[in-house]
């Protein structure tokens, strides 16, 4: 039997959905008589909100657990949460005696109860995947930064052959319309000016609107755009198969929907895309991009890429470079393929040598950097509206996001949460700098 924790820390790894889950867990613990540990202070409870997508994810999570032991030999109560918790389940408690409870991404609304159980010496595990029950068990959102995340959809039915998400996050499920609109309103009341709708396959969101009509993500975006005080809407991550005409149309006529689309392609080779079970070809992907650009010519396209998928030839890889040139990505994430146990690709033949993989990643990243730089340079001399979201390192310097999601550095007395107009004066591949024009909207 140990004392109930009074202070806590939630450490999130990985994607934006984990950042969102981490915030919700912190709100839940805050509402159940615990306070966040201040910087440098030991917390009584540490929640490790883990990510399973990168290589050796479980090993990394266990070493993170090990690091929680303090110099005097004592340790906090440890909750293993997130996708590693989901994947490892009971195995986690067996492998590390330091783990007091294991909670999957669909069960964290039960954290307070599980913490109470852990304090009695039990080691509770909950990796059930009920259909989106957790949201009903979370407190209403109160305070928010200027840019907030809102999970609307979870899980994935696409089963790309390299990916663990369909196994760790389960089948695609959509949160109900009213819950989402209500949470958006609460976030805006709490200070949010930008909302990013999140989902592993966010554009697979399906539901009934307030009037009982079936709708897709586009109808949700249109409804949220009507809320006063909200200035910007984004959504991520999308699958090409679910990019509907109606969603494309929204990019053309919803001014609050920002000109940015994260649409992973993974490879430019049809043979590799087929082996990945991606359900689109290089050509069908390019046609989609053309249609989006027809309604929103200035849109920034962002993507994910995997190099060195089993069987990828030099020609396949060159097709990837070719699609990068054809799209002209504004930003991108690129990875070396690494096998995930239990996925179909893990037992495919034709593994690519590490050296070839390294060399391809380097060539791809050079090409992607050149496109990002070209995209950013094209904004030099233009006035962009920036949503300030943090302070810079230099005195008086603030950093905010452009409509295209680049970070922009500017000297201004305006505060976090304000929208300011900035004339862009210089550009790097990942950021831009400029000078203040005038305050567009007061905070
Ligand atoms: N190996 C390398 N990259 C992967 N991703 C997902 N699974 C793997 C894997 N096994 C990448 C994909 C995906 C992004 C979130 O992570 O590009 O879009
Ligand atoms: Fe993974 Fe593919 Fe689903 Fe994306 S679409 S989460 S890569 S299985």
Query: What ligand is nearest to the CA atom of residue 343?
Result: 1
What is the atom index within ligand 1 of the atom nearest the CA of 163?
Answer: 7
Q: Quick check: helix, strand or coil at residue 355?
A: helix
Question: Does ligand 2 come within 6 angstroms of the Cβ of 186?
Answer: no
Q: How far apart are CA 313 and CA 2, in angstroms?
A: 57
Taking the CA of 346 as reference, the closest ligand is: 1
Q: Ligand 2 center to residue 385 CA distance, Å? A: 33
Is the CB–ligand 1 distance for residue 185 below 6 Å? no
Say what the pLDDT of residue 309 is.
98
Rounded to the nearest angstrom, the distance between the alpha carbon of 158 and the centre of ligand 2 is: 6
Going from the Cα of 215 to the center of ligand 1, the distance in angstroms, rounded, reads 29
| 87 close to ligand 1 (CB < 6 Angstrom) | no
Ligand 2 centroid distance, CA of 162 (Å): 8
**pLDDT of the residue at 443:** 41
Q: What are phi and psi of 276, to 5 degrees?
A: -80, -10
The span from the CA of 216 to the CA of 214, in Å, is: 7
Q: State mean pLDDT over 235-254.
A: 96
Cβ atoms within 10 A of the Cβ of 255, count?
9
**pLDDT tens-digit series, residues 8-17:** 999 999 889 9
pLDDT tens across 157-168, in order?
999 999 999 988
- In 37-126, at which residue ranges do the beta strands (DSSP E only) sit? 45-50, 77-81, 101-103, 125-126
Give the mean pLDDT of the chain.
93
Indicate which ligand has the atom closest to the C-alpha of 352. 1
**367: helix, strand or coil:** helix
Decide: 41 and 8 in contact? Cβ < 8 Å.
Answer: no
List the residue whose alpha carbon is closest to atom 2 of ligand 1.
337
The whole-angstrom separation of Cα 303 and Cα 297 is 17
User: Residue 144: its pLDDT value, please?
Assistant: 84
d(CA 51, CA 82): 6
Nearest ligand 2 atom to alpha carbon 169: 6
Instruction: Kindly tell me if the per-residue pLDDT of 131 is higher than 80.
Output: no
- As a whole number of angstroms, the distance between CA 197 and CA 283 comes to 28
Give the per-residue pLDDT at 137: 76
CA–CA gap between residue 50 and residue 15 (Å, rounded): 10
Q: Is the CB of 173 under 6 A from ligand 1?
A: no
Which of 121-125, 127-131, 271-275 ranks highest by mean pLDDT?
271-275
pLDDT tens profile 335-347: 999 998 889 999 9
Quote the CA–CA distance of 324 and 367 in Å, as a whole number.
8
User: Rounded distance, CA 236 to CA 196, Å?
Assistant: 7
Is 70 exceeded by the pLDDT of residue 415? yes
Most confident among 116-130, 197-211, 275-289 (mean pLDDT): 275-289
What is the 15 CA–ligand 2 centroid distance (Å)?
13
56 or 228: whose pLDDT is higher? Answer: 228
Element (H, E) at 291: helix 282-295
Ligand 2, closest atom to CA 239? 5
Q: Ligand 2 centroid to 424 CA: how many Å?
A: 36
* Probe target for ligand 2 pocket from 86, 163, 272, 280, with the most ligand atoms within 8 Å of CB: 163
Tokens linked to 128: 């059930």
Mean pLDDT across 140-145: 84
Distances (CA, A) of 383 to 79, 254, 415, 423: 47, 21, 19, 4
Residue 439 scores a pLDDT above 70:
no
Task: Please work out whether the CB of residue 333 comes within 6 Å of at least one atom of ligand 2.
Answer: no
Tell me if 335 CB under 6 Å of ligand 1. yes
162 lines ligand 1 (CB under 6 A): yes
pLDDT value, residue 213: 84
Q: Say which residue, 73 or 313, is predicted with more confidence.
A: 313
Tell how far the Cα of 204 is from the centroid of ligand 2, in angstroms. Answer: 12
Tokens at residue 14, please?
């990985």
Q: Using a 6 Å cutoff on CB, does residue 159 contact ligand 2?
A: yes
The per-residue pLDDT for 442 is 46
Pocket of ligand 2, candidates 15, 52, 54, 201: which has the most ligand atoms within 8 Å of its Cβ, to mutate? 201
């Amino acid at each position: 039997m140990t004392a109930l924790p009074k202070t806590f820390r939630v450490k999130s790894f990985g994607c934006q959905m984990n950042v969102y889950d981490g915030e919700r867990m912190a709100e839940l613990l805050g509402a159940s008589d615990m306070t966040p540990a201040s910087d440098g202070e030991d917390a009584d409870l540490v929640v490790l909100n883990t990510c399973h997508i990168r290589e050796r994810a479980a090993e990394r999570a266990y070493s993170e657990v090990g690091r929680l032991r303090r110099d005097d030999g004592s340790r906090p109560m440890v909750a293993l949460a997130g996708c590693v918790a989901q994947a490892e389940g009971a195995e986690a408690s067996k492998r590390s005696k330091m783990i007091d409870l294991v909670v999957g991404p669909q069960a964290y609304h039960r954290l307070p109860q599980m913490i109470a159980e852990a304090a009695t010496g039990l080691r509770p595990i909950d990796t059930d995947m009920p259909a989106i029950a957790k949201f009903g068990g979370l407190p209403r959102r109160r305070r928010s930064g200027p840019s907030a995340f809102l999970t609307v959809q979870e899980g994935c039915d696409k089963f790309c052959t390299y990916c663990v998400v369909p196994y760790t996050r389960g089948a695609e499920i959509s949160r109900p319309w009213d819950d989402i609109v209500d949470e958006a309103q609460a976030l805006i009341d709490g200070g949010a000016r930008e909302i990013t709708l999140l989902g592993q396959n966010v554009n697979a969101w399906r539901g009934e609107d307030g009037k009982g009509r079936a709708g897709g993500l586009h109808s949700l975006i249109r409804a949220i755009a009507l809320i006063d005080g909200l200035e910007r809407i984004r959504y991520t991550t999308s699958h090409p198969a679910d990019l509907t005409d109606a969603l494309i149309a929204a990019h053309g006529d919803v001014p609050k929907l920002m000109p940015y689309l994260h649409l992973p392609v993974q490879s430019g080779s049809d043979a590799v895309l087929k082996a990945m079970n991606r359900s689109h070809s290089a050509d069908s992907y390019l046609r989609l991009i053309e249609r989006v650009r027809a309604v929103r010519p200035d849109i920034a396209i962002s993507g994910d890429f995997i190099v060195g998928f089993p069987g990828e030839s030099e020609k396949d890889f060159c097709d990837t470079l070719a699609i990068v040139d054809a799209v002209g990505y504004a930003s991108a994430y690129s990875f070396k393929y690494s096998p995930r146990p239990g996925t179909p690709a893990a037992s495919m033949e034709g593994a690519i040598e590490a050296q070839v993989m390294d060399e391809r990643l380097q060539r791809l990243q050079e090409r992607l950097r050149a496109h990002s730089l070209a995209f950013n340079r094209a904004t030099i001399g233009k006035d962009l509206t920036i949503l300030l979201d943090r302070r810079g390192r230099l005195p008086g310097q603030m950093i905010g996001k452009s409509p295209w999601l680049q970070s922009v550095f500017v000297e201004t007395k305006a505060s976090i949460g304000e929208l300011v107009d900035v004339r862009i004066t210089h550009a790097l591949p990942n950021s831009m700098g400029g000078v203040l024009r005038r305050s567009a909207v007061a905070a």
